[in-house]
Amino acid sequence: MGILSRIKNVILAETNEMLDKYEQSVHMVNHYLREFEQELAKGQKALANQLFIEKRQVAMIAEVEAVIEKRDRQAKLAVDQGEDHIARLALQEKLMQEKKLAAYTQQYEAIKEQTRTLEERIGQLLVQSEEFNHRRLLLASRINIASSMKQMSQAAVSFQTENVSKGFARAEEQVLRMEADIEAMAHFSSPVKRSAPQYVDPNLKDEIELALDELKQHRQ
């Protein structure tokens, strides 16, 4: 077997090995993405339940406020009519409902904080999901390139002398791709980073703060 044929066989062998590694990586990535999407679905379900709890708490607060207003009217009417006993009973109920309102309001603030935390976490997961899917597409693109290279190599009957240097260059490129693939595999095998993304654009920070101040003044 000539030196050129041996070079061809070596390069083809490396290409096949590279494709096998790529396919294994894709299967691994797809598995990770499926698990990630399942966790994301759980998070979205938890957020829906949290929003329901928040809305229910708002309804309870509104109900108590309505009772307080009603008892206040009854107390005023009883006083106007000289019925102090009825006024006392109405005021007693009003005070009890006001204490309940304070407790409900405190609970509502805690619920809102839980909702905010959960929404931030869901936002992080969505950003990570988009990044992971983008990485998967890039990996699939690299597989297509490697597959095309393999077909081109197999279609060639023999190397010409002037193509030997090009063959070495392709082989070196394949080795670099294999090393990059190993690095990518190591990345996907590591725990997902939990750093929160920066949602506020620093370039818009002053405008945002100004708009927030104006909104607060308007609400006041």
- Please tell me the pTM assigned to this model: 0.51
Residue 201's H or E segment, with its range, is none
**Selected residue with higher pLDDT from 75 and 153:** 75
pLDDT for 101 beyond 70: yes
What is residue 194's predicted lDDT score, i.e. its pLDDT? 45
**Selected residue with higher pLDDT from 176 and 188:** 176
d(CA 33, CA 37): 6
10-14, 137-141, 148-152, 178-182: range with lowest mean pLDDT: 10-14
d(CA 154, CA 159): 11
- pLDDT averaged over the chain? 76
If pLDDT is split at 50, 70 and 90, which confidence band does 157 have?
very low
Question: For position 10, which CATH number holds?
Answer: 1.10.287
What is residue 39's predicted lDDT score, i.e. its pLDDT? 84
Domain of residue 186: give its range: 3-219
CA atoms within 13 A on the CB side of 82: 0
Residue type, 185: M
For 194-207, what is the mean pLDDT? Answer: 59
133-137, 147-151, 194-198: range with lowest mean pLDDT: 194-198
CA atoms within 13 A on the CB side of 156: 18
What is residue 155's predicted lDDT score, i.e. its pLDDT? 55
If pLDDT is split at 50, 70 and 90, which confidence band does 82 have?
confident
CB neighbours of residue 161 within 10 Å: 7
d(CA 123, CA 154): 47
d(CA 138, CA 28): 15
Q: Going by C-beta distance under 8 Å and a sequence separation of 6 or more, which residues neighbour residue 12?
A: 150, 153, 154
* Angle formed at CA 106 by CA 104 and CA 108, multiple of 5 degrees: 70
pLDDT for 213 beyond 50: yes
Q: Total domain count for the chain?
A: 1
CA-based diameter of the chain, in Å?
119
**Selected residue with higher pLDDT from 60 and 41:** 60
Long-range (24+ apart) CB contacts under 8 A made by 14-20 are 14/171, 14/174, 14/175, 14/178, 15/146, 15/149, 15/150, 15/153, 15/174, 16/150, 17/178, 18/146, 18/174, 18/177, 18/178, 18/181, 19/143, 19/146, 19/147, 19/150
Write the pLDDT tens digit of every residue in 8-25: 555 555 656 665 666 666
3-class state of residue 142 by DSSP? helix
What is residue 185's predicted lDDT score, i.e. its pLDDT? 66
d(CA 88, CA 79): 9
